[in-house]
């Protein structure tokens, strides 16, 4: 399992992902029964792997579990987070649709480790195939799960996947982040300590319980070992979800896809709360959370979007910023007023309806919303906007001064939905 740009399958091992969901019989034949480990032993094993959460924040999984497992006795809840409200990412819904029993294994192990008496599968209501697969798999295994189990449809909003928003949605039907103490690890669903964990993280726990820490660390980098699911979109012919060793470079990710980085000028790394970078800057940079963070980038949700030389970075950024402004939680000034103003001004720049003073306003507003929101939504949006100015600064200026797009040398049009698919339809085909 050496890292030579070769995709290795762990999470996606098994039946082809273009086939039906792996059945319980197939799952058991491939991996055997779910082993039992004492809660402390399991958490220690996860800690030894260095497994980071795969929902976007990258928080150490073992540390998160210990916070709840170490509480006084009493009920607790596990929320399996499959909301995936990030339109540019498709990894979670693919995993749910094709490896549901691996996720259920991880949920059972998590419940046993923290002493939970309820497991809630929180799946995006628009992810129809994933919801059906998870629901069918849960029905197959209800007889062997000691905890109460229920499925909950996550609202089709960007913020619905945030951990406290998931708890709030389950309790009240409002998928809005909670802004006041105590934390959900202390008082979450129905007032019980609650673990909210991404589906990819839980699927990996199921494999770690079988293979152990040494097996997990045999792939990836010593500092950040393992594999991760990445959604590749844009100019590459092999668009879709791929499993890579952490530390593989962008060049290694794209070359097996059949296109490489020829004709690519910029890359969006980490999704809508991620960062733009030039292709030259990141082509040989390891796709690793620690390495990316050290140079001001973010691994985020594992999304990599490639921008062609003939595509307008200003128009795409405007489309994303308008989306994030519309998807705001709406509970504080930086969201309600700041993001709305940034989104509107960026759209006008993209359409050739703004001047250089608007660029000054966007830059000022971007700085003002940082760190002042009731949740992290304004921070993520500001990070993306700031990186767009860094990468596409000359293009923004050309749009503002001339009303024309410097990339295509034409009169600009309304922000569109280019091949990068940064603002795709939320509804999954049945």
Compute φ and ψ for 365, nearest 5 degrees. -65, -35
Of residues 388, 352, 329, the one with CA closest to residue 338: 329
Helices marked H in 99-127 — which ranges?
Answer: 100-114
pLDDT tens by residue, 18-71: 889 999 999 999 999 999 999 999 999 999 999 998 988 888 999 999 999 978
Distances (CA, A) of 283 to 5, 58, 203, 243, 286: 13, 22, 29, 18, 9
How far apart are the C-alpha atoms of 402 and 231, rounded to whole Å? 36
Q: pLDDT at residue 125 above 70?
A: yes
Q: pLDDT at residue 428 above 50?
A: no
How far apart are the C-alpha atoms of 354 and 367, rounded to whole Å? 20
Share of residues in the chain with pLDDT > 70 (%): 91
Distances (CA, A) of 98 to 24, 65, 302: 11, 26, 19
Q: pLDDT at residue 413 above 70?
A: no
Tokens of 192: 């019980």
How far apart are the C-alpha atoms of 183 and 192, rounded to whole Å? 11
Topology, domain 227-308: Ubiquitin-like (UB roll) (3.10.20)
Whether the Cβ atoms of residue 390 and residue 276 lie closer than 8 Å to each other: yes
Q: Are strands 264-269 and 275-278 parallel, antiparallel or unpaired?
A: antiparallel
pLDDT for 236 equals 63
CATH of domain 315-411: 1.20.1440.230
pLDDT tens by residue, 319-345: 999 999 998 777 787 788 889 999 999
Sign of CA dihedral 108, 114, 120, 123: negative
DSSP state of 183: P
pLDDT for 372 equals 80
What is the CA 30 to chain-centroid distance, rounded?
A: 28
pLDDT for 259 equals 57
How far apart are the C-alpha atoms of 213 and 217, rounded to whole Å? 6
Distances (CA, A) of 239 to 8, 194, 308, 343: 17, 36, 14, 28
Share of residues in the chain with pLDDT > 90 (%): 67
Average pLDDT over residues 88-113: 96
Helices marked H in 217-339 — which ranges?
Answer: 250-254, 279-282, 289-294, 313-326, 333
Average pLDDT over residues 112-129: 96
Average pLDDT over residues 374-382: 88
pLDDT for 410 equals 54
Buried b (16+ CB within 10 A) or exposed e, 164-184: bbbbbbbeeeebbbbeeeeeb
Average pLDDT over residues 214-240: 86
pLDDT tens by residue, 200-210: 999 999 999 99
Please list, in sequence order, all residues whose beta carbon lies within 8 angstroms of the beta carbon of residue 316, skipping any fewer than 6 positions away. Answer: 307, 415, 418, 420, 422
pLDDT for 17 equals 87
pLDDT tens by residue, 167-201: 999 999 999 898 778 999 999 999 999 999 999 99
Q: pLDDT at residue 4 above 50?
A: no
Beta bridge partners of 123: 82, 153
Average pLDDT, the chain: 88
Average pLDDT over residues 88-97: 94
Buried b (16+ CB within 10 A) or exposed e, 106-136: bbbbbbbbbebebbbbbbbbbbbbbbbbbee
pLDDT for 79 equals 98
Domain 24-216: CATH class, spelled out: alpha beta
Tokens of 15: 């039946």
Q: Dihedral (C-alpha) 329, 231, 52, 247: value to the nearest 10 degrees?
A: -140
pLDDT band at 257 (very low <50, low <70, confident <90, very high): low
Whether the Cβ atoms of residue 92 and residue 199 lie closer than 8 Å to each other: yes
Minimum mean pLDDT among 40-49, 74-83, 126-135, 304-313: which range? 304-313
pLDDT for 418 equals 40
**Helix, strand or coil for residue 332?**
coil
pLDDT for 417 equals 42
pLDDT for 305 equals 92
Average pLDDT over residues 388-417: 79
pLDDT band at 2 (very low <50, low <70, confident <90, very high): very low
- Burial class of residue 98 in the structure, from the number of CB atoms within 10 Å of its CB (0-12 exposed, 13-18 middle, 19+ buried): buried
How far apart are the C-alpha atoms of 197 and 184, rounded to whole Å? 12
Average pLDDT over residues 274-287: 92
Average pLDDT over residues 234-258: 80
Global pTM exceeds 0.85: yes
Q: Where are the domains of the chain?
A: 24-216, 227-308, 315-411
pLDDT band at 256 (very low <50, low <70, confident <90, very high): low
């Amino acid at each position: 399992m050496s890292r030579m740009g070769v995709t290795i399958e762990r999470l996606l091992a098994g039946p082809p992902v273009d086939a039906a969901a792996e059945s319980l019989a197939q799952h058991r034949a491939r991996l055997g029964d779910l082993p039992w480990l004492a809660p402390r032993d399991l958490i220690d094993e996860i800690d030894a792997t260095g497994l980071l959460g795969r929902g976007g924040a990258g928080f150490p999984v073992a540390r998160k579990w210990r916070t709840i497992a170490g509480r006084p006795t009493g009920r607790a809840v596990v929320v399996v987070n499959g909301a995936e409200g990030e339109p540019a990412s498709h990894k979670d819904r693919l995993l749910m649709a094709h490896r549901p029993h691996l996720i259920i294994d991880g949920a059972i192990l998590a419940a046993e480790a923290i002493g939970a008496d309820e497991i809630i599968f929180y799946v995006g209501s628009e992810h129809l195939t994933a919801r059906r697969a998870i629901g069918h798999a849960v029905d197959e295994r209800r007889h062997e799960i000691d905890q109460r189990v229920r499925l909950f449809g996550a609202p089709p909003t960007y913020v619905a996947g945030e951990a406290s928003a998931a708890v709030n949605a389950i309790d009240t039907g409002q998928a809005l982040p909670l802004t006041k103490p105590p934390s959900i690890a202390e008082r979450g669903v129905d007032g019980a300590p609650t673990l909210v964990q991404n589906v990819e993280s839980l699927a990996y726990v199921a494999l770690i319980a079988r293979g152990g820490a040494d097996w997990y660390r045999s792939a990836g980098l010593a500092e950040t070992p393992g594999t991760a699911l990445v959604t590749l979109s844009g100019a590459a012919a092999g668009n879709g979800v791929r499993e890579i060793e952490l530390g593989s470079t962008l060049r290694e990710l794209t070359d097996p896809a059949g296109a490489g980085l020829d004709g690519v000028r910029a890359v969006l790394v980490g999704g809508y709360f991620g960062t733009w970078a030039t292709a030259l800057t990141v082509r040989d940079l390891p796709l690793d959370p620690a390495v990316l963070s050290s140079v001001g980038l973010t691994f985020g949700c594992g999304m990599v979007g490639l921008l062609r030389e003939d595509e307008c970075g200003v128009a795409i950024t405007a489309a994303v910023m308008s989306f994030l402004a519309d998807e705001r939680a709406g509970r504080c000034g930086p969201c309600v007023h700041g993001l709305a103003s940034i989104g509107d001004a960026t759209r006008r720049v993209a359409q050739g309806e703004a001047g250089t003073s608007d660029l000054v306003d966007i830059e000022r507003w971007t700085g003002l919303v940082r760190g002042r929101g009731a949740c992290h939504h304004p921070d993520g949006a500001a990070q993306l906007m700031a990186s767009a100015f860094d990468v596409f600064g000359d293009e923004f200026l050309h749009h503002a001064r001339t009303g024309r797009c410097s990339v295509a040398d034409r009169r600009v049009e309304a922000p569109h939905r280019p091949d990068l698919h940064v603002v795709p339809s939320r509804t999954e085909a049945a």
